[in-house]
Amino acid sequence: MAAVPLILLWATLLPSGLALPLPQEATGTREVQWEQAQDYLTRFYHLDSKTKDANRFTDKLKEMEKFFHLPITGKLNSRIIEIMQKPRCGVPDVAEYSLFANKPKWSSKVVTYKIVSYTSDLPHSKVDEIVAKALNLWSKEIPLNFRRIQFGTADIEIRFARGGKDDS
């Protein structure tokens, strides 16, 4: 009869006893946040989700910290979790998007833009304001600044047009 309480105690403790401990990098984080971090690094930093290598996780975390100009610690913390939870596009941060290997699209941290044509639905000043505000929001999240130019060749040319896709 003494075996029954012992078995019940063992069965109660078994699930938590079999759970793998979180790596040292996850100190102070909840398991849900740890899983979100793994998912984020898999999606945006090419972390192999099948490999449970803590060193690989740390390397990818450092890569993310470098990209966001954060102190490089390789440790999951509240600032990194906050960044990971922000809405964002689905494009990885570290993919190669250049026609030439190892050469970034923009060699400078300042990207120029020019509004080449306007929509007839809004005053030009309103379009200018909206575009400037959107690029300013973007520059707060990425390591680029945007500067409008009136003349010459811009890195980004913005054009508004009608037609072509049944959008009369």
Residue 121 among known ligand-binding residues: yes
Residue 167 among known ligand-binding residues: yes
Residue 89 among known ligand-binding residues: yes
DSSP string, the chain: -THHHHHHHHHHHHHHHHSPPPPGGGTT--HHHHHHHHHHHHHHH---TT---HHHHHHHHHHHHHHTT--------HHHHHHHTS---SS-SS----SSTT--S-SSSEEEEEE-S--SSS-HHHHHHHHHHHHHHHHHHSS-EEEE-SSS--SEEE-----SSS--
Q: How far is CA 165 from the centre of its chain?
A: 32
Q: Which residues are annotated as a binding site for Ca(2+)?
A: 121, 155
Q: Which residues are annotated as a binding site?
A: 89, 121, 155, 167
Q: Which residues are annotated as a binding site for Zn(2+)?
A: 89, 167
